[in-house]
Structure 1
Amino acid sequence: MTSSRKIAATSKISRRGVLRAAGTLGVGAAAVALLARPTSYAIAGNATKVRLSWTEFAACHSPIAFALSKGIYAKHDLDIELYYQGASGQTLIQSIATNKTDAGAGLLYDWVKPLEQGLDVKLFVGSHGGCTRLLASKASGVTTLEGLKGKTIVSYDVASPPKHSFQVALAKAGLDPENDVNWLNVPFDLVGETVGKGQADALAHLDPWAYSHKKKFDLVEVANTQTGSFEGAVCCVLGVNSAFLDANKDAIRRLAEADIEIHEYAAAHPDEVAKWFVDNLNPGFPFEDIRDEIASWVLHNHPVGKDLQDQVKHAAADLSLIKVLDPTTDPAELAQRVTVDILA
């Protein structure tokens, strides 16, 4: 006999935390109200509960919540609870490692260093590529990576994934990513204004903010995480707490299958996913921008098994190139150790 039960998309943060995050990211009041209350959908059966960390205001995470409303997780016999752990990818990752949540979606470049240092998490499926952009002002005259020599690039953190991504791109273009360019760090919500005011020549940022800055300040897209050496690379990857994986491997297999399904759906229906995101989370960006961003990403790129291991190996090699990882770290060994072939 089956019984009716609920799954809730619940943001586990305090009201103060919600307001602080919303203020930092420039989110509307309606989004704060939404985050303060649970949204639930009825399903039948004894589905496996999985607490999933995500970032509400990152447009590239919109398919994750859309899948909840669409019933895709329920179809895979999963009872998903979504938890917001802050705008920082490192905070999200630590929430999984400390058992506040069971699994979560994060940028691959955010995962690799903590995994090198012993983070007890396994990566199991990739979601998409292309959500990070390097944009230059027209006044700078920059149109290529090589043209950034001697220029100033602004980002929001000294070790942000966008900064690391384009340090790698610069290094592979023959520049010294530390000495041939000047890096400027400013608060998250001032990145675009810094270029708009002429205080920097270019910016490295994530969507939806990068895409919004591109339109607002009429910027030139020099590169993104699907151009040049990043072609075919995955940006965002799901990881799972190792103890939870050991006890619930079949559920994580189903989560991987659901993640692949929803990103394939988003690739075919960017309008529907964007409308849901804008209507339900009020991220402060127009529907057309979110739709165009979703359509621009490579949503068919969701590696598992050996393919995922190769992606992690390449990411580790990239971060070694810019001296983020310990010089003794073997990228191949690291990739083998921190991934699981969940569909095997």
Structure 2
Amino acid sequence: VYPADLLSVALDKREIAAISGSEPFSYRLLATGKYQLIASNMTGDYANLSCCVLGVSGSLARDHKPAAAALTQAILEAHSYADAHPESVAQSFLAHALNTNEAEVSGILHGQGHGHHAVGEAFVKELTQYAVDLQRVQVIKPGTDPHQFAESIYVNVFA
């Protein structure tokens, strides 16, 4: 078992053939030019799906719908801002980050899909796709109807 910052050593020694990683480690590995991206949440079928989902408790969505809507709206606006102004977000983020720089954070943000905001039936369709995939890897039980599951966890807090 290698810690994330030593995965490149395992790759170079051919002790592993691929990694699944998170930022900033994956970004740093790819930035060296020695490694190739096989897939990510921004490639293939996932390239046009929401990459981030806000989950709130049922009681917040039912009993405090205006608060849930305000929280959701704030997150959507923050994502839209990050998509349109990654350099500004990177600069602000540096006050809370260790061992990185503005160019790296900005580069990571450029590779993410914060500008995609599915709502309504389009979002339920995306949740259904995720449920199908989770079922395929045995996270969700085989007998679960993916679309019904997606509808059961979705609430339009803006309605």
The equivalent residue for 2:34 is 218
Structure 1 residues 190 and 329, CA gap change in structure 2 (3 angstroms): farther
Please give the residue correspondences for 1:1-344 in structure 2 after superposition, counting only pairs within 5 Å.
Answer: 186-216=2-32, 218-278=34-94, 280-344=95-159
1:319 positional shift = 1.4
What SS is found at the alignment partner of 2:19?
strand
Contact 1:245 1:252 in 2 (8 A): yes
Q: Deviations over 1:73-103 (max 9, x none)?
A: xxxxxxxxxxxxxxxxxxxxxxxxxxxxxxx
Counterpart CA distance in 1 for 2:91 and 2:34 is 25
Counterpart CA distance in 1 for 2:96 and 2:79 is 19
Contact 1:304 1:342 in 2 (8 A): no
1:245 positional shift = 2.4
Q: Deviations over 1:123-161 (max 9, x none)?
A: xxxxxxxxxxxxxxxxxxxxxxxxxxxxxxxxxxxxxxx
Letter in 2 for 1:326: K
Q: Percent of pairs identical after alignment?
A: 28
Higher strand share: 1
1:311 positional shift = 1.2
TM-score by length of 2: 0.89
- Point out the structure with max Rg over C-alpha: 1
Number of equivalent positions: 159
Cα RMSD after superposing both structures: 1.9
Higher helix share: 2
What SS is found at the alignment partner of 1:329?
coil
Q: Deviations over 1:259-287 (max 9, x none)?
A: 11111111111111001112x11231222
1:196 positional shift = 3.6
Counterpart CA distance in 1 for 2:119 and 2:112 is 18
Q: Deviations over 1:239-270 (max 9, x none)?
A: 01112222211111111111111111111111
Structure 2 unaligned blocks of 5 or more: none
Structure 1 unaligned blocks of 5 or more: 1-184
Counterpart CA distance in 2 for 1:288 and 1:218 is 19
Counterpart CA distance in 2 for 1:312 and 1:186 is 33
Structure 1 residues 241 and 189, CA gap change in structure 2 (3 angstroms): farther
